[in-house]
Every structure is written in C-alpha cells, then in structure tokens.
Amino acid sequence: MNMNAAFSQFYKRTPEQRLAILAKTLGLSETEQQELQQRADQGDAPLLIENYLTTYQLPEGVAVNFLVNQHEYVVPMVTEEPSVIAAASNGAKQLAQAGGITATVRSRLLTGQVVLSDVRVYASIDDWVALHQNELLEVARQAHPSIVKRGGGPQTIRTRDLGEGFVSIDLTVDVQSAMGANMMNTMLEAIADVIQNKLHHTTLFSILSNAGDQSLATATVSIPVGQLANDFDDAKRVAKRIEQASRIAQLDSMRAVTHNKGIMNGVDAVVLAMGNDWRAIESAAHAFAVTDGQYRGLSQWHLTDNQLTGTLTLPLPIGVVGGATKVLPLVAINQKIAQIKSPEELMMLIVAVGLAQNFAALKALVTSGIQQGHMKMQMRSLAMSVGATAVETPALTQQLMKLSDPNEAQATQLLNQIREKQGE
Ligand code: NDP
C-alpha cells in the first residue's frame, strides 16, 4: 500500500474524511472509529492545530489546602499521573499548618534573540547596536505598539559574542499579561530588517528565548520540625533526611533529574490547566537547573534551629491572556477557580505547587517510601488497564492491594473472578 498517496492533501480534508482515510489505510475497527469520533470537537479545536482528528482528553482535578502569601487557593491541575493531586494537596496541607508558603516574583520580562552569523569583528556590531539602541528599541515599539499602550514594551537591547562568528542581539520586553512569544517574534523580525538594511548584515534567525531567567518566581516555607512526626526525635530524623535528600540532588545529577521531575509533576499540571505552553516551562526549568554547569535539584531544604526551610525558584514565563488561554474553553473557568488576578499571581501559585509537590515527594521518599502512598492509585490504574469498569474498579483495586506485587495477569484473573461472581 502506498501510504503517502492515501494521505495526499490530508490537511485539506475534514476530520470525518481524515478518520475515514485512517480507518481504511490502517484498519481501524468500527469501535475504534466511534471512539475517535465521539471525542471530536465541534467547536474551535479543529482550528487550533493542523490535521485535526479528535480531542485527546486528560483528567482535570483540583488540589486543595494551598495557603500562599496568606491567601487560600484551590488549584486546577491536569494530569494523567495518579497521586500527583493527592500529593500536592497533602504537601500543601502540611505547609499551610506551618504558616503557609511565601512566594515572590523577581521580574517578568521576556528575552528574544536576533542572531547574526559570519561576523568578523564582534566589536563593530556591539558598537553599532550601542550607538543605535534607542532607534532599535523604537523600531521594536512600532512593530507592536499596542503592548506599549498597555504599559509594557521593549526595555533593553544588548549584544553577546557567541564565538565562531555568531553574535546574538538580545531584546528584553515587558510583555504585561501575555506569554509574549508572538509579539516578541514580530519585534525581533523588525529589528532584523533594520540590521539587514542599515548594517548590511544578514541575520541567521530571530526568535524569543525560552530561557525565562528574567521571569523568576520563588517559593519558600519554614516548617517547625515538631510538625513532621508525633515524636520530636522522629520528627528531627525526618527533617534531617529531607535535608539530605535535597542535598543529594545538588551533588548528583542522576538524582537531580528525578527530584526535578517530581517538582514538574505539579508545575506542568497547573501550567496545562491554565492553557500555557508546558514545553516552554519544561525547557526553561531544566536549563535553569544547569545554570552553573552541573544539573542540580531546583529546590533546596535546610535544617536550622529546628526549622526545616524549603526554597524553590523557577523560571515561569507564563501568560494569563493570549495563546491558547482564550481558545481552550476550560482555561477561563480554571483561572476563576484559582482566582488568579495577574500573571505574577499565577507564577507564585505555580512555584508554590512545585514546592508542595517536592515536599510531599521527599517526605514520602525518606519515610514510608514512595510506593506506599502511590499503591492505591497504582492498583486503580492497573485495574482500569485490564478493562475493569467504573463499577468493578473499586472491588478489583481492593483485591490487588492485598497482593505483594500484582501484575497484569493476576489483575485479569481477579477481574474474571469478579465477573463470574456477578454472573452467578
Ligand atoms: P498571542 O499571540 O495571543 O499574544 C497575546 C496578545 O494578547 C497580545 O498580542 C495582545 O494583543 C493581547 N493582550 C490582551 N490583553 C493583554 C495584556 N493585558 N497584556 C499583554 N497582552 C495582551 O500570544 P503570545 O504572544 O503570548 O504567545 C503565546 C503562544 O505562542 C503560546 O501558545 C506558545 O505556544 C506560542 N509560541 C511559543 C514559542 C516558544 O515558546 N518558543 C514560539 C512561537 C509560538 P494586542 O496588544 O494586540 O491587543
């Protein structure tokens, strides 16, 4: 079969036609076709992406117990991973008991790059940009004047020698409430035109940077050690072990990756619920984790004077307007649930979720172990994966929890037994 011929002009087809082509060429069953069709959106989703087929759904829940800057929050989270929301809520509850999380935003600027290649003398570009910086900033302003009216706009322009004849002209922009990718790219292209016309230097590309290091948010919390267990000596042992676990993530990048993945479990789930670009946040976070050349844990926990203090700083170049925030129907409702009034407030909430998620994970890890807390959720997933219905799942989950290390075959066998009993 010539697959390419079947998919010719695929982008011009309707979702129904695309499904028919897929079904025919790849042998999708009636049930599979219905499954895809039932989830197809009749609204805006087909216009959001190319070659739209259906809408892939993920579960949304809310994490509770968050106290950030003395304000209580309910946090919408979109995730497929069992236990993320339970752990976030549980971590947040313990941090609220300690007086809550304090969060701050250091700055909220976006950076972009116009990159030049084949530069023989870096100083000539640097001097020219320094001399013309006001003109270049004005060009950027004129390229997207509405952001200036909103109180934002281009702030600084400077050059960096990247070596091997490459030079980056870096523009920072106050993007106000947007993530700002598109306005930044428009401004950069306008600057690139000037470079081309006046400096007679061809640019290689112009695009925002996802580094996010000028959009940093920090969350901190200080927990009285006595809160960590009923017995004070036990509590101190737990605090010490959390501190050590956090230290290992500073020393060992193999552990740091897992440490940070746990933080991003919560961060991504909120970013997704808020209609933001989670790939941008992921890239920014991991780049930030390697700032000094070694990949390290993004959070740190220290034990001093019977207080366990945790700090997490994250680059969070998110937006509360623009992008997918207006197109995805649930985002406006999620913003209302979280009662977010500004992008800074959302940044503070996200970093607070990361810290609570990290605390819950570390505490579980150094006490009962991660599996115990996860077990019920894992068993529920196993039950669902072997085809248990919503009615059958609770009973099967209970039975699986009694086994030491249940597998798919055992789950299937138990499910069959449940069904046989029901049929009796
Ligand atoms: P938009 O292109 O939707 O731009 C946001 C727009 O919102 C602004 O241009 C502005 O339009 C309007 N707006 C309304 N109110 C405000 C306000 N208070 N503050 C600021 N703007 C306001 O989205 P973004 O430019 O934010 O780009 C985000 C999208 O870009 C994401 O979907 C992302 O996936 C995508 N993207 C990401 C890239 C990357 O990360 N590397 C690259 C390219 C795209 P106006 O002022 O004209 O009214």
What is the separation, in whole angstroms, between the first and last Cα of the chain?
49
DSSP 324: T
Q: Catalytic one among 93, 236, 240, 374?
A: 374
Tell me, using a 6 A CB cutoff, whether residue 283 lines ligand 1.
Answer: no
261 catalytic? Reply is yes
Record the pTM.
Answer: 0.90
234 catalytic? Reply is no
177-to-108, 145, 327, 364 alpha-carbon distances in Å: 9, 15, 16, 37
Q: What is the predicted pLDDT for the residue at 374?
A: 66
Cβ contact 37:59 at 8 Å: no
Q: What is the predicted pLDDT for the residue at 260?
A: 98
Give which of 302, 399, 337, 326 is closest to 73, Cα–Cα.
337
Within the chain, what is the greatest distance between any pair of CA atoms? Answer: 88
| Average pLDDT of the chain, as a whole number | 95
Q: pLDDT-derived band of residue 376, with 50, 70 and 90 as boundaries?
A: confident
Tell me, using a 6 A CB cutoff, whether residue 208 lines ligand 1.
Answer: yes
Give which of 354, 290, 313, 347 is closest to 175, Cα–Cα.
347
Q: pLDDT-derived band of residue 274, with 50, 70 and 90 as boundaries?
A: very high
* Tokens (6 digits) for 415: 């499910």
Pocket test for ligand 1, best of 110, 142, 173, 277 (most atoms within 8 A of CB): 277
Residue 373 has pLDDT above 80, yes or no: no
Tell me, using a 6 A CB cutoff, whether residue 385 lines ligand 1.
Answer: no
Nearest CA to ligand 1 atom 17: 177
How does pLDDT run across 60-105, given as a tens digit for each residue? 999 999 999 999 999 999 999 989 999 999 999 999 999 999 999 9
- What percent of the chain has pLDDT above 70? 98
How does pLDDT run across 180-189, given as a tens digit for each residue? 999 999 999 9
How does pLDDT run across 277-329, given as a tens digit for each residue? 999 999 999 999 999 999 999 999 999 999 999 999 999 999 999 999 988 98
Q: What is the 3-state secondary structure (H, E, C) of 45-86?
A: HHHHCCCCCCCCCCCEEEEEEEEECCEEEEEEEECCCCCHHH
Pocket test for ligand 1, best of 147, 272, 326, 328 (most atoms within 8 A of CB): 147
Give per-residue burial for 185-223: e unless 16+ CB within 10 Å, then b: bebbbbbbeebeeeeebebeebebbbbbbbbbbbbbbbb
Give which of 329, 330, 349 is closest to 339, Cα–Cα.
349
Q: What is the predicted pLDDT for the residue at 286?
A: 98
Spatial neighbors of 372 by CB under 8 A, at least 6 apart, are 364
Tell me, using a 6 A CB cutoff, whether residue 180 lines ligand 1.
Answer: yes
How does pLDDT run across 122-177, given as a tens digit for each residue? 999 999 999 999 999 999 999 999 999 999 999 999 999 999 999 999 999 999 99
